[in-house]
Chain A
Amino acid sequence: MIGWLRLLPEIVLALTIGGVLAGDLFFNAARRKWLSPLALAGAAAALILIWVAPDGEFGRAWTGDALGRYLKTIIILLLGLTILSAWDFDEIWKRPRGEFLILLLASALGMLFLASGNELVLLYVGLELTTFPLVLLTAYRPADAKSAEGGLKYLVMAAMGSAILLFGLSLIYAATGVTRIPELAAAVVQADAGVLILLGVVCVLAGIGFKLALVPFHMWAPDAYEGAPTPVTAFLSVAGKIAGFALALRLLVSGLSAAQAEWGQVLAALAVASMFLGNLAAIPQTNLKRLLAYSAIAQAGYMVMGLVAFKIIGISALLFYLGTYLFTNLGAFAVVIAVERVTGSTDMPAYAGLAQRSPRLGLAMLLALLSLAGIPPLAGFAAKFYLFTAVFSQGYVWLVIIAVINTAISLYYYLRVIRVVYILPPDKNAPAGMPLSLPLAMVLLITVLGILVLGIYPGPFVEIARAAIAPWF
């Protein structure tokens, strides 16, 4: 019985999906307005349960531990903030109301299983459950070619990524004969079949690289980001990172730590390529969503350095970075959503003089972008500080130098947006006011507070991240 208690957050989220589904079927149009609050309540309940559910294994494939709790907290926060930012985003409510919420909740549920997966097959199934709702959500805009295009590209690439990942997993199984992560860790050390494991690891890296949008597995990201409805893009930008790193932590750091020398080298190369390509390609972008897509590729490059550094110091820095990234990226997207609701555009000219038209939105954009660029005293600075010192302390000085150069490059396009927001005069035809709905205002408030608090006082949060990973080392 106690085993089921461990699974409570997942159960509650699954029940919420059922509730939304039933509500969508049986409610009339007026009552369907209550589906969003219902989903939000489910998320809130899951958040509480994550922290009260007991630790331990469930069956052979699932485990509840400190790392899972840390990741799940970020997942549920992401889910809640996305529901809030989509609250008044009329474009997605043109379809039956429950559809969007069900897909969103299902994707989050998949991530919860990824965060706790302790076995190869469960991890794979969790990944699929995460990805496929996202594909559908990307293609969610009715009558928009870009959305359909982005969705299709995402679908094909996702299928490809999963296939390669699954191939890698089967190679590893072939070499070791086990699927449970703890046994895998022991078996890898003894296994003699080096070549199978190596090939398996490379395939797994490709699968993870696809989720994280690391170069050269990143091609789908800009199209999917641009095509998806903006609240979905916001969700996608963080969900991809959480899913990718959950997979990497469970599979690579826990299961294949014996091969760290191999996958560390490959990831270092991918990190360098992603940082350079992401930052350079972001420079000429004129669409905010595409710009943030390339920025996300570069950010993934920074974060992967935490895996390269390995050890408790590197992984905890990565986990902390993930937390700051949630607030920073969602903050930036919340502004994009707010602007799109009024102007209907996500192109750069729509942001001209935004700070004059709406000082609140301008300030939020400023803080989010400066945090992405890593300017103190914002969250992004603290995250980069801990990550870079961790990588430095493990002897990867050259990698830190490259990351710092890239941070400088990234300032260029972040500041370019800030210039548009703060210095350019607003367009004469632009609407004077920028009304802000209450849920979106709440998202902005929460993300800005997160950016400030994590930046000014990161100490305790770094300790939490440390405690989450400490049992492994």
Chain B
Amino acid sequence: MPNNLPIPFFWVTILILALLYIREVILNRPASKLKAHTLEEAQQKALEIIHSAIKKSQDITSQGKLMDERWKENFQKTLDQNQTQIMSETQELFEKFEENLSNYLTQTQTQSTRAIELELKAARSLIDNYKSSQLRVVDENIIAILEKTLSIILSKKLTLADQMDLVYKALEKAKAEKFFV
């Protein structure tokens, strides 16, 4: 845990300094009761300081652990929230994408269908026009064809008597219609 490292390191440094101070006091002062007392007092004080430092270190460590757990908890909570949000947003995005895609496909299908229907209508119209024009041509020519066919067939099939019979019938008709007035 990177946050916990400086705290013991700080207290160990203080401890070393305290020991150095004690050593200095012991080494530099003359051996006397006062010195001993002072030394003892200093030692006591140093021990208190060390004890206090250790306690504080433990507090800080426990506090750090607690914070770490809280942080973890918060992190997990945030992560969960984010995950839920991301999932929700992703779901929403997918739904929107699906909807857009569906709309696009429907629109494209409608457009395609409309285009095909128009093409079909145009093609049908073209066919109808062609059919009409061809039928008109047939109608116009059918009598001519029939005329020609009859002319060829009747000229071979009709005997002179038949032909003359038709002539007399025509003359009778003309007489009845008073053509010879």
Q: Do A and B bind each other?
A: no
